[in-house]
């Protein structure tokens, strides 16, 4: 059993929301990947694209395990 602080719980929820929206937006082949990342950065107030890419990589590796 893992005990999490309220901040950690909120952070995990936000990361799941970002990944879910990324999957939804990237399902449309007309959407440009860079535009998707920029949209997510603006919507979720993320300062760096590398953060979004890290979230995507983390969730994709979790899906493969």
Q: Tell me the pLDDT tens digit for each residue of 2-60.
A: 899 999 999 999 999 999 999 999 999 999 999 999 999 999 999 999 999 999 999 99
What local confidence, expressed as pLDDT, does residue 48 receive?
97
28 in helix, strand or coil? Answer: coil
> What is the total count of domains within the chain?
1
**Spatial CA neighbour of 36 closest among 25, 46, 47:** 25
Is the pLDDT higher at 51 or at 64? 51
Q: Has residue 12 been placed in a domain?
A: no
Query: Is there a domain that residue 48 lies in?
Result: yes
Is residue 13 a part of any domain in this protein? Answer: no
Residue 42's pLDDT is what?
Answer: 97
Range of the domain at 57: 33-65
For the beta carbon of residue 51, count every other beta carbon within 10 angstroms: 16
Q: How far apart are CA 27 and CA 12, in angstroms?
A: 23
By CB neighbour count within 10 A (0-12 exposed, 13-18 middle, 19+ buried), where does 59 fall? middle
């Amino acid at each position: 059993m893992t005990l999490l602080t309220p901040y950690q719980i909120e952070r995990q929820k936000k990361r799941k929301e970002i990944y879910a929206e990324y999957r939804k937006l990237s399902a449309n082949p007309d959407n440009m990947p860079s535009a998707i990342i920029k949209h997510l950065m603006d919507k979720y107030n993320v300062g760096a694209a590398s953060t979004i890419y890290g979230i995507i990589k983390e969730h994709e590796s979790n899906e493969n395990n």
